[in-house]
Structure 1
Amino acid sequence: MTFSIVARSDDGRFHGVAVASKFLAVGALVPAAEAEVGALATQAHANLAYGPQGLALLRTGLGAADVIAGLTAADSGRASRQLGVVDAEGGAATYTGPDCHDWAGGQAGDGWAAQGNILVGPEVVDAMRDAWLGGDGGRRFAERLLDALRAGDEAGGDRRGRQSAALLVVARRGGYGGGTDVVIDLRVDDHPDPVTELARLLDVHVMLFEKPDPATLLDLTGELATEVAALLSAAGHAPAEAVDAAVDAALADWAGVENLEERMVPGRIDPVVLAHLRSHP
């Protein structure tokens, strides 16, 4: 009922899962990940205990293949299960029980595993593999996962149709404000084109929550500070006075309302923030 990719970033910092299915709220069931531990997807006639149990096994240092062996050996329903696992070191393995509905299967390589069931055919997994391996290493890890999921979707995906998709990415202290390991947890629970909608949500997430690129920051002085002050005034956040520090304070106040606080750098402005301010009605 599902196709997914689980992976680790090349630098080992990120682990994640991207998944889509003709099934309501697939993101609530299939993906599981823990920073610096690993990631897994449990699907087909999913055994939801595989999530916490698999992470517990990974936490002990077991490799991906051994985790799958341990989980399936203790499960009388293993013939109808499907599972993909990537461990902390980038070892990967996939398992498809013989009773999974056709087409069902998976592939794994260094740092990734792709699998699916009730698919139009093996070309779905092939497409995910090729997209992952051929992806631009400069792309954000989450974008690479989504690219692979989109490739599987465009190759036909779940032969019953489309309904939901999800993206989960973790990294040590990589989440909001550095206070969580959950970098991204986006879910499209019921939608006619869930992978496209997931891509839209990821774009919004990047705009709101990603840290700015230091190389692109602009000094909030001179003509730019004057422009920003005018834009803030039009948005109802007029600076207290016409000095750079007051403009900076007003910008931070506006950014908090717009949920852009992660992109704030005192005395400077992120071009992403500036573009959003300029487009503000």
Structure 2
Amino acid sequence: MTFSIVARSPDGQSYGVAVASKFLAVGAAVPAAESGVGAVATQSYANLAYRPQGLALLRTGVAATDVVAALVAADDGRAQRQVGVVGADGDGATYTGAGCTPWAGGQTGDGWAAQGNILTGPEVIDAMRDTWLAGTAGPFPDRLLAALAAGDRAGGDRRGRQSAALLVVSPGGGYGGGSDVLVDLRVDDHPDPVSELGRLLETHTLLFGKPDPASLRDLTGDLAAEVRDRLTAAGHPVAGDDLNAALVSWAGVENLEERLVPDRIDPVVLDHLRRQTGER
């Protein structure tokens, strides 16, 4: 009833799961990931116990293949289960029980595993594999989503579409650095959930992405004057010379505080301010 990819980033710092299904709120059932440990996807009459059990085994250094073997060996319902696991190193691992509804199967490689059941055919997994392997230069969450979208375009779940989710963990990657959850986005019930998940990821990147130091612009001269005028137009006038305080005030309302750098401005923030305040 589901197709997914579990993967490790090339630098080994991030783990994630991207999943879609003709199933309500698939993100509440399938994915699990832990920073520094690995990721698990449990599906096809999903055994939700696989998530904590799989992560616990990975935490002790058990290889992904052995994690999968241990999970299914202890499960009387293994014939109808499907699971994908990736650990801190080596190939990912996948398992498809003989009783899973066809088409069902999976593929693995260094740091990834893709699997699905009730699919239109093996072309779904092939498309996910090819897109994952071709996307080495992109941001890790975008690369996961691209692989999922490729599987969706190739046919996906043969019953149709309903939900999708993306979970990515990375050390200190969460909001304000206070957690390791870099991305946790869910589309629970939607006619085109993978596309909607893409829209949410774009918004997430806008609001919570970290600024590129090479692109930051100094808040001096004409640019400082423009930002001052636009902040005033947006209802956040600058008191005295404290442009940073006014920018912080405005950005907090717009949920852009993660992109602020004192005395400089992220072009993403500047573009948003310009769009909000229109032509000068």
What's the TM-score, normalizing by structure 1? 0.97
The match for 1:279 among 264, 275, 280 is: 275
Amino acid at match of 2:184: D
CA contact (8 A) 2:161 2:190 kept: yes
Of all paired residues, the percent bearing the same amino acid is 72
1:231-270 map, 5 Å: 231-241=230-240, 243=241, 246-270=242-266
Residue pair 1:8, 1:90 contacting (<8 A) in 2 also: no
Note the 1:1-281 alignment, pairs <5 A: 1-135=1-135, 137-241=136-240, 243=241, 246-281=242-277
Structure 1 Cα separation of the partners of residues 203 and 269 of structure 2: 12
SS of the residue corresponding to residue 279 of structure 1 reads helix
Query: Per the alignment, in what secondary structure is the counterpart of residue 237 of structure 1?
Result: coil
CA distance in 2, matches of 1:5, 1:235: 43
CA–CA separation in structure 1 for the residues paired with 2:79 and 2:137: 39
Q: Aligned residues, how many?
A: 277
In structure 2, distance between residues paired with 1:235 and 1:254: 8
Distance 2:60 2:205 in 1: 33
SS at the partner of 1:187? strand
Q: Does the aligned pair in 2 maintain the 1:20–1:164 contact within 8 Å?
A: yes
CA distance in 2, matches of 1:219, 1:134: 36
Secondary structure of residue in 2 paired with 1:180: coil
Structure 2: 5+ residue stretches without partners: none
Contact 2:163–2:194 (8 Å) recurs in 1: yes
CA distance in 2, matches of 1:134, 1:277: 35
After TM superposition, which residue ranges in structure 1, 4 or more long, deviate above 2 angstroms? none
CA contact (8 A) 1:12 1:90 kept: no
CA distance in 2, matches of 1:215, 1:81: 47
**Could you tell me which amino acid in structure 1 is paired with residue 167 of structure 2?**
L
State how far apart, in whole Å, the 1-side matches of 2:167 and 2:206 are: 17
Partners of 2:91 and 2:108 within 8 A in 1: no
1:248 and 1:229 map into 2 onto residues whose CA distance is: 10
Deviation at 1:107, TM superposition (A): 0.2
The CA deviation string for residues 86-114 of structure 1, in whole angstroms up to 9 with x for no partner, is 00114311000000000000000001000
2:176 and 2:234 map into 1 onto residues whose CA distance is 26
